[in-house]
Structures are given as structure tokens and as C-alpha cells.
A and B are shown apart, each in its own frame.
Chain A
Amino acid sequence: MYQFVTGPLAWLAFIIFFFGLVLRIVLYVRGLDWKLDRVTYSVNVSYGIKGAIRSIIFWIFPFGTRSMRKNPVFTVMVFVFHIGLLITPVFLLAHNVILEEKWGISFWTLPETVSDILTIAVIVSALFLILRRIALPEVRIITNAYDYLLMVISTAPFITGFLAYHQVSGYEFWLILHILSAEVMLVAIPFTKLSHMVLFFLSRGQLGMDYGIKRGGMKGYNLSW
């Protein structure tokens, strides 16, 4: 079982993840239409690029925008959630040990207490985000089961990994569940709105181009996000 989930299944998951995301990017870009979108993507390019970069940069740093500054707690939680989500798996010691064993490569690694804290942070911030969905009427009305499912898919690898690492009873069981849930997540990313992992940049970039070209950018105005 372990052989299977870490072997062929893992390969399959990574391939689907990678090519799936590439496909999402290609489809997105191919579906852009300068006339329908009313943005001259291939004319006024320098303005477009500038607008796109501004739009991404301001939104990728905490409190870079008025929207985030107005919602400080939420902003912190979303950033904590994502930092844990993205950093932990890549720089986790245990993952790098496996990489080293298999392919002889390894990244810089996190001290284990740090990765432990990050994992807990992911789980706690996820809990916060779930409670927020229930508590706030303006979020509740737009929330559906799919949102919770995605939360489960995103956090399951962390919960199971945490349990496996701390060797609660049934290490083997949690480990396999951990690997499976991570594979589910990888496969889910291109096919669900977790695809925002790349579409965030494309969508933000697109709106940035709109502002950078048509909505004032060519007048030399730098929109304050």
C-alpha cells in the first residue's frame, strides 16, 4: 500500500497537478478577447504590464490594499493560512529527506518546531475561516458546501501529517491517509477553484491591465489599490 501511494499514485498526482495547472493557464489566456474584455492586451503593452504587476504586488503582501487594511483579522488569518499551506510542505524536513533518498536533491529545510507551528497555524486559521463563514451573514449567504469541502481538502494533509508525525496510535494508517489526502489535494487544485493558485495571478493581472491601459493608466494615473 505504502509503495503504491508513494509510487505510481504520487507520480500521477503530480503529473495531473502540474499539467492541469498549465492547461488552466493556457485556457485562460486563450479565452481572453480584447474586444469583449475591452482591454487591448497586445497594444499598449508596457502600460498593461505595469498595471498587472501593480495589481499583483499590492494584493500579494499583507495590508497592501485598502480592502485588506479594513479587514485586519481576516487578512492575517488568510495570510497565515496560505503561508503555512505553501511553505510547510516544500521545506518540511521529512519531505526533503525523502527527496534526498529518492533523487538526491533537497531544499533548505525548516526546523521541526517551526514546521509544527506552521501546521498548527494552518489548522487554526482554517478553523477561524470556517467559523467566520458561519458567523457573518454577508459570508454565510454566499457560502456553500463546496467551500467547506475545499477547506477540508486543503487542510486534511496537514491534520493527518500532524497526527502521523506525532505518532499518535496507528502511525502507518495516518501516514497513508496523509499521503492520500495530499494527492487528493494536488489533483483537486487544477479542477476546483483551488486553481486560484495560478488563476489568482492571471485574474489579478487581467484587472490590473484593464486599469493600467483603459481605466486611467495611460493617463499616467497609478490607481491606489
Chain B
Amino acid sequence: MAEGTLCNRKMINTREALLELLADKSGKLYYEEMNQLDVQTNALAETIRATCKSRIRTWLEICTHCGLCAESCFFYLANNNDPKQVPSYKIQSTLGEIVKRKGNVDNAFMQMTMDTAWAKCTCCNRCGMYCPMGIDMGVMFGYLRGLCFSQGFVPWEMKIGSGMHRIFRAQMDVTVEDWVETCDWMREEWEDDYPGLEIPVDKKGADIIYTVNAREAKHYPEDIAEAAVLFHLAGENWTVPSEGWELTSLAMFAGDWEACKMQVETVYDAMYRLNPKQMVATECGHAYRATVLEGPYWAGLKTGKPPVDSIHYVEWVADALRTGKLKIDPDKKIKEPVTYQDSCNYIRSGGLSDAAREIMSYIAEDFREMTPNREHNFCCGGGGGLNGIGRYRQERNAGLKVKRDQILASGAKLVVSPCHNCWDAIRDLEEVYEDGIRWSFLKPLLLKMVIVPEHLKPAESEAT
């Protein structure tokens, strides 16, 4: 029954517990304690009995071991075709074994499983598109992460992340007050340049409820301002909720399904409370997947859809450009070769690749596709929470190679990357490999080239 003070099966539900965990720099003590953590084999067996149903059992059983998934996996390619990186092998040797042994595994096995589930798979779901039997190993790894989490075998940052969601309903320590203040602050900073700029909080019955990634509130507040400006220029009737503003889900990466539910329910509550026509989600991939695609299932919504129609930022932009709500100055279009990073979570898992192409057709003169692209695109290399886990920095950096090769082969040095994870991965890729690659979200690019209607220009610029 051994459990550590930091590394244990308890959920982080209080600020004290969270601070204690955060104080353990890089999880040094946490990982030491993990070596002593017992596996509750009975509980594991019971969880498997209750949640590992015919879909996953069949997947595990009928894999014909053909190996077609090997080349679909960027980890396999990035690690010189290491057979230990074959998706089928990775899942059979972890989840497959646990199920076969009915949960009867030991500490070393669980640590190996944890290292596999977070450092050898980003849940990008690409392998599922290459398997003749329709076996989606990314889905199984997601499930496996849940098993690991329930037993306390979870990377330090993921445990923190899920705790953040439990306490703050955000992946970072941003409170409702912090968030509303940030919105006010941004409006004040930017309203001189854009007279009449508003960031309406909790407006009922707006056309759009806009929701973000906590990183924007905490580290990149100008992203919120940019979003506000673009809505303003497009003449949208929009709002942000005071509570339920955060879309992301480190809890999903951690496999903490209970926290996943808590998190999305705050967003859905905001929808019920404010009754907007539509939700627009910021430029984030996993946040969209969590709140729009998977969230309804966590929350038990039988339609499989969020309470109001929900779209990703790229859909809003594509629509705004198509309908002329936003107009691009032709002289300011991107002239240099530019490519687009298809995020797994809203392209492969969300079917939004057309919207991305449509946007590029309006803003770029020399758009270069990566190969392969759209739903066949490779993961950036940092998905599934991997970017944020210190323990796996080496593995992450090795995996970036595939994306790097793809970008270089496209001939573009600028990568449009409307996803926080991809954006980070490409930033880090440049840091590691120094190829002179630049990366950007859509908002700053759009802001540079959008035509500001006369009546929305500041007074001085009218004079000049």
C-alpha cells in the first residue's frame, strides 16, 4: 500500500497540495517516490473490467501484426526505424500485457508503461489511419494514460496540470478575476489604436462566445487583444464568459477523466448561462478536441455535441474572409513561401483541413503544402502533452526531426501554426536545429494585412 507524499494515487484538489507538488522542482522527489509506489492490482483489474470493452479488446485481439502502422508513426521514423517504436508493439507490450495479465503488473512495468504512453505516443491518431483493421492505437494510448493516472504513474507535469484544472478550472493558476482583469487590461491597452474596441464579458445572447487557452491569459495576453480587434473589425456581436473561459485540458493528456468532465462542464455552463448562438474556440488544437469533440461525452451529452454549435478559430476566419467581414489588403499578403502546420487535433480529428486551405488562399501568395498533409500530416512532435514534460525532453527533441524535414522540404521558412502545441513544438524545433524557421498564429498575421474600415480607424490616422 506504499504511496509517496507527492507521488500517489490521490487527486490534487487543494491549493496546498498543488503548491507542495510545484515546490518539488522538476519532480525530483516525485519520481524518486514513484519507485516505491505500489500497484493496486485489484483496482486496476476492476477498472479494466469496467471500462475495457469490446472495441479495445477487439483491437488488441485482432491486430494481425502486419506492421503497416510502423511507418505511420513519426517516432518510428525519427528514431531510425527502431522496431521498438512500432505502434502495435508499443501498445501490445503495455496495454496488451496489462489486459492479458488482468492488471497483475509491478512497479517497473508501470513505469515502463508510463514512459511509453507519454514519451512514445502523442495520441496523434495517425496510426489508426494506416491500419487495415481500423485499430486506432492513439485512442488506446489515451485509455492507457487513464489507467496509469488512476495508479499514480503519471509524469509530474501532468499531475500538476490535472490538479490545475481541478482547482482553477484552467490548466494554469488563472482565476476568474485574473481572467476578467486581463481582458480589461487588454482593452485599455489597445483601444487607442482601435476606438470602440470592447471585450464584453458575460454578455447574454451574443452571436459568439469566445473561449481561449489559459496560456493566452497568463503569458500571451496580446492574443486576446488581437482576437478582440479582429472580432471588432469584422463587426461581430461577441462576448467572453467570466467563468468557463478556458478550453484546454491537460486533464485529457493526463488521463484524469474526472477532471476532464469538471473542466468542460464549466464551459458548457457558460453556454447555458449566456445562451450565445455559437462558440468560437481559439487557435488551439487539443483544446478544440477536448471541449468540442470529446467533451460532450465526458459530460454525458447524448447528442455528442456541445450545448451550442462550436467552431474552431480557423472556421471563423475562413468564414469571415469568405463573406468579406474581414478584408485582406492584397499588397500585404504573405509574399514569401509559407506552409501550414495541420494540427492533428482539429485537422485529423476534426476534419477542418479545408478551412485551413481556404484561409491560406486569401492570405498567402506562395502557399506550399507539406507532404503528407491534411489528415495525413505528421504530428508536430510535441502533442499529447509531450512538449511540457521535462522527463522526456530528449525523446521529444528527437521526434521533432520528422516535422523539421517536412517543413524544410516544403521550401517555406514561415509556418502558419494555429495550434499552441504545434506552435511550441516548431519554436523548440528552431531552438534545437536552428534552420531559420519562423512560426506564427493566424491572428498576428491577419492583423498585419487586414483592411481597417474608415469608420473604425483612430482619429489621428484620419488626419495623416
Contact = CB atoms under 8 A, between A and B. Distances in A.
Interface stretch (A35-43, A91-99, A116-124, A180-188): A35-43
A144 B65 contact: yes
A10 to B, nearest CB: 27
A31 B51 contact: no
A213 B352 CA distance: 14
Given A66-B376, A141-B89, A142-B65, A32 B55 contact: yes
A199 interface: yes
A87 interface: no
Interface string A136-167: 11111111100100000000000000000000
Interface string B361-377: 00000000000101110
A70 interface: yes
A207 B71 contact: no
A34 B299 CA distance: 12
A224 B375 contact: yes
Contacts of B390: none
A73 to B, nearest CB: 12
Interface string A179-208: 000000000000001011001101111111
Interface in A8-41: 27-40
B70 interface: yes
Contacts of B351: 211, 215-217, 219-221, 223
Contact of A66 (B54, B128, B130, B304): B130
Interface residues of B, number: 54
A129 to B, nearest CB: 9
B62 A193 contact: yes
B83 A140 contact: yes
Nearest to A27: B54
A46 interface: no
Contact of A206 (B131, B134, B348, B354): B134
Contacts of B342: none
Contact of A137 (B72, B83, B88): B83
Q: Max chain A CB contacts within 10 Å: which of B55, B129, B136, B376?
A: B55
Given A34-B304, A71-B68, 6 more contacts: A137-B81, A142-B92, A199-B61, A199-B133, A223-B129, A224-B375
Nearest first, the 9 A-B pairs at minimum CB distance are A216-B351, A31-B54, A221-B351, A40-B304, A139-B67, A207-B134, A141-B83, A138-B70, A204-B134
